[in-house]
Structure 1
Amino acid sequence: MSDASVPKDRRFPIGLTIATLVAFAILCGLGVWQLKRLAWKEDLLARIEVLKTAPAQPLATVLARAKAGEDVAWTRVSVGCSSDKPQTLPLVYGVRDGDIVWRATAICQQTSDSAAGYGAILLDLGVVKALTGQSTPASVTLYAPAQAIGVLMAPKSLGGDRAATVARFAADNPAPYILMVESATPAPPGITPAPLPAEISNRHLEYALTWFGLAVTLLFIYAAMLWRKMRS
């Protein structure tokens, strides 16, 4: 029997089948992506947990490991800075505890030669308390501290155009990390250190199950529609 002799409402729905398969593949892909994000987030949370009791390591030693290919993000380090003049660097916008905050930055010229060949590193000193909630903050001028202890982070993982700020000091060969300061000597006045996110959620398993659940539901709906169409 040719296709022309089959009633139109009983022909196999090729277009619907293709659309269903494409949608099914997309939903499953999103579920797999969330599982990968889950593994990344669990590793991140484990590193943060270890960080709570980890001693600070010399920045030069850690950057040497980074240059050898090791991921040194979320490593606690210490560095000495040479500061001979005040700096006015861009404030970085952020949200903390539901409020708009502005974070102060400074460039730290290292007082000791780095084994990795870097001469400076950008410091995120923390939140400028007086500017909390302001949409257009005034600039802040400060000195880099003589000594800083904090956590290394990659610029791409942080908000704000940190990479552009680092690029301003290309002549100083800055390190490709941002030092999120936990404590500084002397402490910059009016600035509260805030090196870690206020809260890190981990709902990727929930999201993955949602996407996979939608994929299975789509198949059931397609099967029910196909059964009803072929049966009628």
Structure 2
Amino acid sequence: MSDTTRRSPVRKLILPAIATAIVFAILCSLGMWQVRRLHWKEALIAQVDRRLKETPIAAPGPGQWKTLDLAEADYTPVTVSGEFLHDDEAHLYSSLMEPRGPVGGVGWFVFTPLRTDEGWIVYVNRGFVPVEKEIASTRPEGLTTGRVTVTGLMRRPETPGRFQASAKPTSQQWFARQPDKFAARSGLPVESVAPYTIDADATPNPGGLPQGGETTVTFSNNHLQYVVTWFGLALALVGVFIAYARGVLKRRD
């Protein structure tokens, strides 16, 4: 038997070995990426847990907006005083399955612009209302008048998902918190509206609605299972290649 004939089965392993090495490297890189994401998510959760225990600070005004890191400031406890503009409510669709208060299910979060003592405006998520209480006139007791002080959590704006429903052009029904678009729809001066919103705390509103204090501060953290998945696939790939290589070498013998 010639050397070429003896080597031919081994040569059959060259391309599969290269392909296996490439895919193995890709799977491992995905696994390492998920490890980094896991560390980032754990740090974020710890940061938010610490932040929720901090003393509220004054809500940032226009002089701070340009330099404000909205992602970093998310969930910061703040306080602000002013007067609600109830005629310009915006309603954010929600399915509140685990409410802290007595009202839950399908409904809306009520975002009401607050004209602050300084004159600028910030949208306040006053809380949740059921579907039948979306319109402000159905809950007149909760339409607080005069100067109020709101304490809550600063929240960054959201970008609607690709497959998310769009806001209705003739209403104030929304599916992502977008204070600039809320303001534009109501005809408020966008340049005077804060780039963030505030989720009001659980201080009861007259009549019980809107139901505040319903901010979700839990984070999904599935990165560990993704780490196991990607590295598990990498190991499985190696096992498949080893089994294949053994079969090729046995046929050579």
SS of equivalent residue, structure 2 residue 158:
helix
Question: Structure 2 counterpart of 1:140, which letter?
Answer: I
More moved, 179-188 vs 5-14: 5-14
1:57 Cα deviation (Å)?
A: 0.4
1:72 Cα deviation (Å)?
A: 1.4
More moved, 67-76 vs 50-59: 67-76
Aligned to 2:110: 104
Aligned to 2:196: 177
Q: Distance in 2 between matches of 1:180 and 1:11?
A: 65
Please tell me whether the aligned partners of residues 79 and 110 of structure 1 are also in contact (alpha carbons under 8 angstroms). Answer: yes
SS of equivalent residue, structure 1 residue 43:
helix
Aligned to 1:86: 87
TM-score, normalised with respect to structure 2: 0.69
Within 5 Å, give how 1:32-51 maps onto structure 2. 32-51=32-51
SS of equivalent residue, structure 2 residue 60:
helix
Question: Structure 2 counterpart of 1:181, which letter?
Answer: A
Change (3 A) 1:176 1:28: farther
User: Alignment identity in percent?
Assistant: 23
Aligned to 2:30: 30
Within 5 Å, give how 1:111-122 maps onto structure 2. 111-112=117-118, 119-122=120-123
Change (3 A) 1:172 1:199: same
Aligned to 1:204: 223
Aligned to 2:150: 148
- Pairwise CA RMSD: 3.6
Change (3 A) 1:2 1:23: same
Please tell me whether the aligned partners of residues 149 and 183 of structure 1 are also in contact (alpha carbons under 8 angstroms). Answer: no
TM-score, normalised with respect to structure 1: 0.74
Question: Structure 2 counterpart of 1:161, which letter?
Answer: A
Question: Structure 1 counterpart of 2:150, which letter?
Answer: A
SS of equivalent residue, structure 2 residue 90:
coil
Q: Distance in 2 between matches of 1:188 and 1:66?
A: 38
- Number of residue pairs matched by the alignment: 220
